[in-house]
Amino acid sequence: MLIFGGIIYCLWAAALSWWDIRQRRLPDWLTLPAAVLSLAVANWGGAWWPGMYLVLGRAHAGVGGGDIKLALPLGMLVGHVAGFMGVVAASGCACLLTLGWSVCTGQKKSPHGPAMLLAAAGVVVCVHPL
């Protein structure tokens, strides 16, 4: 069952990453169902990630609505597997990955969704290896 979930996550992450890199946005039809489904896990330590992004988004600090909606299922997933510190590590790693992407490509505005997905997967795999 764990491998099946990993395959579903990889397909979902690939679709979101492709969309974000090409369109510079994360579509509701890919983020909202996952956000609603993640509330079934409801690890409130995981709510830190979307909460932090909501504050940054309101401050116009480069975080968009799609990033906030994506942070909810990712925060709940990472929080469920790795606890609050895992969520902090994943969100920090996502920011560093996006910064690295920006530096390497010379883009001032870089897609953040792929970095979020990669960081969340990395923390989950480190804590709970296959």
Residue 78: name the closest of 64, 61, 62, 92 by CA.
Answer: 92
- ∠119-123-127 over CA atoms, to 5°? 170
Contact 37, 124 (CB under 8 A): no
Each residue's pLDDT tens digit, 6-51? 899 999 999 999 999 999 999 999 999 998 888 877 677 888 999 9
* First vs last C-alpha separation in the chain: 11
pLDDT band at 1 (very low <50, low <70, confident <90, very high): low
State how far the Cα of 97 lies from the Cα of 110, in Å rounded to an integer: 10
* 12 C-beta neighbours (distance < 10 Å), count: 16
63-121 pLDDT, tens digit each: 888 999 999 999 999 998 999 999 999 999 999 999 999 999 988 888 999 999 999 99
Query: pTM here?
Result: 0.89
For the chain, domain boundaries = 2-127
